[in-house]
Amino acid sequence: MTVFAAESRARTFDYRAGDVGYVPMSMSHFIENTGDEPLCFLELFKSNRFMDVSLAQWMALTPPELVAAHLNIDRAVVEKLRKDKQAVV
């Protein structure tokens, strides 16, 4: 899991079965399964309201020249991002 905030601040953690992680409020995160088996991930929120923001979708819907310039990545990479939100199942 990588937890990230503004100004290029990020930290990545490698978790194993049974581990517990914490994401501070107002920080973003993403999960990547780096193993060979299916990942079961439980995410809990201390809130009665859930909001999900897809970073990939947000970048795909932003003018590609802006995303490429600000993230210093090739515009072709940005143009491959999907504009529809991918459900997390």
As a residue count, the chain comes to 89
Tell me the DSSP string of 10-52. Answer: EEE----TT------TT-EEE----SSS--------SSS----
pLDDT in tens, 56-82: 899 999 999 999 998 889 999 999 999
Residues recognised as catalytic: 43
Enter the pTM of the model.
0.58
Q: Judge whether residue 88 has pLDDT over 70.
A: no
Contact between 67 and 59 under an 8 Å Cβ cutoff? The reply is yes
57: how many CB neighbours lie within 10 A of its CB? 15
